Amino acid sequence: MRIVILEDDQDQADLLVAWLEEAGHQCAVYKDGNSFIRAYKQDSFDLVLLDWNVPKVSGIEVLAHLRAHLDAVVPVVFITQRDAEQDIVAALEAGADDYMTKPVREAETMARVNAIARRMGFGDENTSDAYDFPPYKIDTKLRRMFYNDEHVEMTQKEYELALFLFKNLGRVISRGHLLEMVWGTSAKLNTRTVDTHISRLRTKLELDKQENWQLISVYRHGYRLEQIN
């Protein structure tokens, strides 16, 4: 997963990054609420880890802004020293998915991260035979995509991009996010590769002709695949 961390304690941030990267995740760290919000306006992530007591804008305020303006669905986990019951309740009611108090332990932290990853469908290509998004169907065993029950000829990267977009319906996904998760390359590389593959998907899946589906380009950010009722 692509994980963003809000943590002003460098030692704590380094520890979390070491655990997460060893498990194969990509991490970005910000030390204050303002820099986190600025970064999120230009990017997207699969999981957010928030400390509460950080400079400029607190973690709970960041969560409120995230849910109201930036990303209503990304999982959020608090990792903080605040252990009062009212703080835990406030965070969960504000939209946090989990809450951990410091000091955190590696095994428990990774178990909670892995549980979120499973809920989000990461790694389920080995357990789920197919996804059905009429008129589209994705066969993960054959690594093929079908449109109106007809096999769509596409490259493996086109298939992986389509699968990732359908598994993240309704979310704005940045070009950098797509580069890292689909191509396994740095988000700092040229993003025209993403735009080219998006254009091919629109053509091959006839997305511009659909009444119930649309693949939207979000200016200076990325793309959002959404189903229209």
Alpha-carbon separation of residue 228 from 100, 132, 190, 214 (angstroms):
37, 16, 31, 7
Return the pLDDT at 122.
78
Q: Please give the span between the terminal C-alpha atoms of the chain, in angstroms, as a whole number.
A: 29
Domain boundary residue among 93, 120, 147? 120
Return the pLDDT at 22.
96
Which tokens is 127 given? 């357990």
Pair (168, 107) in one structural domain: no
Residue with tokens 């025209």: 192
The CATH code of the domain that includes 45 is: 3.40.50.2300
Pair (8, 94) in one structural domain: yes
Return the pLDDT at 219.
82
Quickly count: other Cβ atoms within 10 Å of residue 14's Cβ.
12
Pair (48, 80) in one structural domain: yes
Return the pLDDT at 221.
84
Pair (110, 18) in one structural domain: yes
The answer to whether 142 and 148 have CB atoms below 8 angstroms apart is no
Pair (141, 214) in one structural domain: yes
Domain count, the chain: 2
Residue-range definition of the domain harbouring residue 216: 124-227
Each of the 229 residues of the chain gets a pLDDT tens digit; together they read 999 999 999 999 999 999 999 999 999 999 999 999 999 998 999 999 999 999 999 999 999 999 999 898 899 999 999 999 999 999 999 999 999 999 999 999 999 999 999 888 776 555 567 899 999 999 998 999 999 999 999 999 999 999 999 999 989 999 999 998 898 876 566 668 899 999 999 999 999 898 899 999 988 789 999 998 7
Pair (95, 164) in one structural domain: no
